Structure 1
Amino acid sequence: MERTPLTRHLTAALLALGLATAGLAPAAAGARAAEPGLPAAPTPEAIDTYLADLTEASGVPGLSAVVTHDDRVVHAAGYGHDADGSPVTADTPMRVASVTKSFTATAVMILAEDGRIDLDGPVTDQLPELRMADPRVDEITVRQLLDQTSGLADTSVDVADLAEATSRTDYVARLHDDALATDPGTTYAYCNVNFDVAARLVEVASGRPFGDFLAERVFGPLGMSGSATRDDVVRPADGYTSLFGWWVPREEPRWFDDTGSAGVITTAADLGPWLISQTGHGRRLVPDADLDAMHTPSAVGEYGLGWHTEDDGTRWHSGFVMTYRAVEWIDPATGYGIAVLTNGAGLTDVTRTALDGLVALTRGEAPVPPAGSPTLDLGLAAVLLASAALGVVGVLRAPRWATRRAGRACWATGLRLAWLVLPALVLALLPALATFLTGGRTFPWPSLLYFGLPVVLVLLVAALAGLAVLGARLRALLRGLPRTLSRRRPVGSAA
């Protein structure tokens, strides 16, 4: 389930404690005059200044963004640098992770319009290879895959096993011993499996590899020449992760290409015509009715077909993988579209900050001035150093501590020692705690060791410090035990 504000705050608290234009020319300098009664349209200069200031203030290595309005690109540019020092531009490819889901949904809608996919027909009738250890799999419709009400959930499938798949066919086959969490159509649960199965359905229905189908029916018609689903076709910029505010270049783990949930590599410039099409302008990929269906939430959740929906009529999708973050946003009512991409992923999300500021500009409001966000990084670094220092002090003072505890009740001493195991316990349970606090999303260790590396290191140091103090205190208690016993002997007892 998408995180509620409370869940986001709880997640942040836990982490702190222990833890994406060919064929369209950019708009000329100077924005179109605002219509009577509407806020002034943001100028390219205002957008550029805001994004440049944000990139500098946040320290993120590279950021690119595009703002569209109706059938034109208002501004598309890049800021910062790649790992080799080359500047990031609007044409710098980056992974957009779960933003891919809106592309996969569009591919399915195109095939549905072609009569090759039945949106409301059972998936297993159209993809017979899909088998699960749950008879309810035969009830899942294609629409339910796209609005994430299929009953598939991270908690009911073996995500770690699926991550080892070598192809989409292998991926679907690995579901044979998994089950559904709920009856299809009754509950919304965000789960990548929905869109990876949908991508395999696209292949079967079209007779083409998923990435090739996107290239022919989505990227090609929109002029997205810098987009692909395989890094041997389009190589993305090198990615970074943040370590206490210091951005470190890191290579992404390998997985099979063309994933329907997170495989798209694209550029800010390419996302211009995509956003224009999604707001109902420019080159159309699907009819208006299909576009409306994609942007309409299901009966049991706030997710449409590959898009999150908001009560104010706006639609969005974010995404992150190990070293990239991205977000896309459209307002069909005003015709504005925004996408922001970064080649850095950490505990804070600069793309969402950028989106908030750009949305404010489209509404004639002043965005919050960009500012550095060292609080979390500095706080975690401080906790790490404090944990290490307290560990050293605790070990050195263990004999004195043991002396003070001599003669006191064993249960009281036990309680004093038990809390020292807490950091190690939290570290061991971190993936499970992250899953709980995010409403069932799975965060395996490889993922946590990228974007969550500072949290893992803080917990590791705290765990080692706690265990070291525990060991030192137990050793001191045992050494002092004979003296304690001798003091407790009755007067006149035998030596």
Structure 2
Amino acid sequence: MDKWKKSGAAAMAALLLAMPVAQAQTFAQGADASSPAAAQSASKATVTKNAQAKAEAMTKTLMEAYGVTGAQYAIRDGGKVVLSGGATLDDAGSKQNISASRMFGIGSVSKMYVTAAAMMLVDDGKVDIDRPLTDYVPEFKMADERYKQITVRMLMNHSSGLYGSHYKNTILMNDNDTQNYDSLLSNLSVQRLKSDPGEYSVYANDGFQLLELLVERVSGMSYSAFIKQRISDPLNLTGTKTPMDEFDRTQLEPIRLPGIPNALPPENANILGTGGVYATAEELTRFSDVLTGEAPQLLSGKSVEAMLQPEYRNGVWVKDTKNAFGYGLGWDSVDLEPFGDYGIRAATKGGDTIMYHSALVSLPDSDVSIAFLTSGGSSVFNTTAASSILLEYLAENGEIPKVLPEPTFAKPVKQALPAELEKYAGLYGTVGETRQIAFKNGELAMPALMSDMIPAQAYVYTGNGAFTSEDGRTELSFDEQTNGHTYIRISSQIELPGIGSTRMAFYEAQKLEANKVDPAAKAAWQKRDGKSYYAVDEKINSLFYIAPSILTKKIALDPSGGYANGTRITDADHAVNAAEIPVMNGRDTFDLDFSRQGGVEYLKADGRTYVSEDAIGPIYAGASSVVTIPAAGSVRWFDVPASAAGKTLTAEFPQGAGFAVYDKDGMPVALSAATGAKTAVLPEGGTVLFGGKAGDVLKVTLTHK
């Protein structure tokens, strides 16, 4: 299970004013004892012994094998918390009990808050979700006339056609800078759409930033104030905040990295509607009551049911019915498996920042929910763990007869490959890469998928147009969809040892047409092939520096020279997104736009500016030097030559500035903003970057050990 530990460590929101005071106070204190939900709860045994043991075992596994350093969970049934617990590591690495009041970043579960906020405005008669966004945010414009067709609903169900996400300077350490949100409309104004609005649903973070903007425009108050007045105050939530709120940051669960003894500075996800809410597990389940119709004073039953409808079925979608994905309004899935196997409707939302990960699973027809929050790990792990715990709880209380055993799989039996399937060989693309698909002796080889959760292996033809993986858990086939594209379809029962399994069905890649490029343009791109470009406008206190590959783009051409990193080359300096892939793998698309200044080549992509490796020089190997941050960027990158390798770098810098050091494999050696360190030993073949405000001067000395 080492691969899970590695991936977890690296990784990668005026009705109250209108309510009578007595009514608001009664609701804040909990469910009315005479309500149907309360009566149902009183009639339940709410036995939790087995569920508690399951939750403790899951927490232990996640902390020992999946890179988790803190976990907190809670089950709410009939308006009451019936199970609550977790664990955390102290600075010495020892496991401790965790307080129920400890707050976690909940990442994209925050999307449920902004969706609920928008639906509250629907209940107020101020918003119609089937009207264009421009009716409410007239400043919203794009370099694509189709933007006028984007409705509020399309933002909520991920079908707007937006490229996906602008992440620059969003997740910062102890810094609530709003520049990303402030520049959202400007960034979108120069961007095109990747599909017709409403054509299909694929995850798009920017849509929920736009929802946040809509809430502010329509309500006339800041988003954080809206959440406080319309959600937190009436529910008596004292641990539900945003980075813009004033509160005791020591209440946040510490974020930690392996090998670093002390906690990092607090993580601020400054994209509030997309992923910026902090909460506790118990309070998240309290908010779940709003989402499942148990708080009609806050959100009407009509709006609740609208959010729970299978919106994903309205457009192009993968054929499988059993899936962890199935968008509603805000929800990742409104028919989460394996609950359907028990005849239970379940909805879920997961969330990930850089360091925090979360899962909410709600059973809207029985008023039961579970929240599982972690520092470190992955929302996929949390959702799987939460589902396993909740099923144990339901079995323990007689809601289901028993928990069904995990499915088993046999080694596939190869069959002869029909000649007509040969037409599916060729070039395929997904976001960031292209891949050549070829059949050999009835088999095809595939790399690891879903962040290594599906291992690299061979797939053999097993009949009915399908190929099956060596372990029997994954089926691959080719779908010719109604939008004219051919996709590689993956359907897999993914095993997470010690936690359970999850069913995922998605389109992995899209078949690409030949793209003939002018010889001169082709030559220009061939010169870039294999070169890396480094982001120069990410603040030095960004948590993205923990995984610098996110801030590096290495140009990779397909053999024909018509595509680069999954984008279609249009001329010597430009390539446009080619991926039109529903579900998940078509998310966060980008164009590539090159320019030159002062003999240096720059790349613009995903809202960031990158500089060519050709402009990255060696760090001065002498005893002392100064590095000045230019007005054009936040950071400067340097290579570590053999003459500087092994020397100790010491840096003096003004407040807000700092440095980072990486080894030749891109793993962090030192992150001054994270640890407060001012020294680091330079690794041969590594890289160093210095960052700060424009004009900042950093004094650097190199000494032998």
Give the equivalent residue in structure 1 for 2:364.
Answer: 332
Check conservation: 2:91, 2:262, Cα contact below 8 A. Answer: no
Structure 2 distance, partners of 1:368, 1:51, is 18
Q: Secondary structure at the match of 2:122?
A: helix
Give the equivalent residue in structure 2 for 1:220.
Answer: 233
Deviation (angstroms), 1:238: 4.2
**Aligned pairs (5 A) from 1:393-412:** none
**Aligned pairs (5 A) from 1:244-263:** 249-251=263-265, 256=270, 259-263=272-276
Give the equivalent residue in structure 1 for 2:152.
Answer: 142
Check conservation: 2:166, 2:206, Cα contact below 8 A. Answer: no
Give the equivalent residue in structure 1 for 2:255.
Answer: 240
Q: Are residue 79 (structure 1) and residue 87 (structure 2) matched?
A: yes
Deviation (angstroms), 1:226: 1.4
Check conservation: 1:314, 1:330, Cα contact below 8 A. Answer: yes
- Aligned residues: percent identity? 24
Measured at CA, do residues 120 and 287 of structure 1 come closer, stay the same or move farther in structure 2, by a change above 3 Å?
A: same
Deviation (angstroms), 1:70: 2.7
Q: Secondary structure at the match of 2:273?
A: coil
Aligned match of 2:294 in 266, 281, 285?
Answer: 281
Q: Secondary structure at the match of 2:274?
A: coil
Q: Secondary structure at the match of 1:190?
A: coil
Deviation (angstroms), 1:158: 5.4
Measured at CA, do residues 331 and 238 of structure 1 come closer, stay the same or move farther in structure 2, by a change above 3 Å?
A: closer
Q: Are residue 317 (structure 1) and residue 349 (structure 2) matched?
A: yes
Check conservation: 2:77, 2:368, Cα contact below 8 A. Answer: yes
Structure 1 distance, partners of 2:378, 2:369, is 26
Measured at CA, do residues 115 and 287 of structure 1 come closer, stay the same or move farther in structure 2, by a change above 3 Å?
A: same
Aligned match of 2:330 in 306, 312, 327?
Answer: 306
**Residues 186-195 or 83-92, more deviating:** 83-92
Deviation (angstroms), 1:331: 1.3
Deviation (angstroms), 1:56: 2.8
Q: Are residue 171 (structure 1) and residue 184 (structure 2) matched?
A: yes
Structure 1 distance, partners of 2:185, 2:242, is 19
Structure 2 distance, partners of 1:169, 1:122, is 21
Aligned match of 1:297 in 298, 303, 310?
Answer: 310
Measured at CA, do residues 173 and 165 of structure 1 come closer, stay the same or move farther in structure 2, by a change above 3 Å?
A: farther
Measured at CA, do residues 127 and 231 of structure 1 come closer, stay the same or move farther in structure 2, by a change above 3 Å?
A: closer
Deviation (angstroms), 1:429: 5.9
Check conservation: 1:307, 1:315, Cα contact below 8 A. Answer: yes
Q: Deviations over 1:152-184 (max 9, x none)?
A: 123xx6554888851634322321111111111
Deviation (angstroms), 1:268: 1.5
Give the equivalent residue in structure 2 for 1:439.
Answer: 585
Q: Secondary structure at the match of 1:172?
A: helix
Deviation (angstroms), 1:78: 3.5
Structure 1 distance, partners of 2:244, 2:69, is 20
Aligned match of 1:345 in 364, 376, 387?
Answer: 376
Deviation (angstroms), 1:51: 2.4
Q: Secondary structure at the match of 1:260?
A: helix
Give the equivalent residue in structure 2 for 1:417.
Answer: none
Q: Secondary structure at the match of 1:439?
A: coil
Measured at CA, do residues 323 and 430 of structure 1 come closer, stay the same or move farther in structure 2, by a change above 3 Å?
A: farther
Deviation (angstroms), 1:272: 2.9
Structure 2 distance, partners of 1:68, 1:322, is 27
In structure 1, list runs of 5 or more residues that go unmatched.
1-10, 35-40, 370-375, 380-420, 447-455, 469-495
Give the equivalent residue in structure 1 for 2:394.
Answer: 363
Measured at CA, do residues 73 and 224 of structure 1 come closer, stay the same or move farther in structure 2, by a change above 3 Å?
A: same
Deviation (angstroms), 1:58: 2.8
Aligned AA (1:70): G
Check conservation: 2:160, 2:207, Cα contact below 8 A. Answer: yes
Q: Are residue 110 (structure 1) and residue 120 (structure 2) matched?
A: yes
In structure 2, list runs of 5 or more residues that go unmatched.
14-26, 172-176, 318-325, 396-401, 407-451, 456-528, 534-548, 556-564, 567-576, 590-605, 609-661, 668-682, 687-705
Give the equivalent residue in structure 2 for 1:66.
Answer: 74
Measured at CA, do residues 247 and 189 of structure 1 come closer, stay the same or move farther in structure 2, by a change above 3 Å?
A: farther
Deviation (angstroms), 1:459: 4.7
Q: Deviations over 1:325-383 (max 9, x none)?
A: 100011123322111111x22468542342132122133146999xxxxxx99x9xxxx
TM-score, length basis structure 2: 0.47
Deviation (angstroms), 1:242: 5.4
Which protein has the larger Cα radius of gyration, Structure 1 or Structure 2? 1
Structure 2 distance, partners of 1:167, 1:358, is 38
**Larger strand fraction of residues:** 2
Structure 2 distance, partners of 1:345, 1:315, is 23
Check conservation: 1:129, 1:173, Cα contact below 8 A. Answer: no
Deviation (angstroms), 1:189: 1.4
Structure 1 distance, partners of 2:295, 2:83, is 16
Check conservation: 2:290, 2:299, Cα contact below 8 A. Answer: no
Q: Deviations over 1:184-233 (max 9, x none)?
A: 11111101100000001100000000010011011111121211112652
Q: Secondary structure at the match of 2:309?
A: coil
Structure 1 distance, partners of 2:379, 2:109, is 18
Aligned AA (2:118): V
Aligned AA (1:50): K
Output the aligned Cα RMSD. 4.6
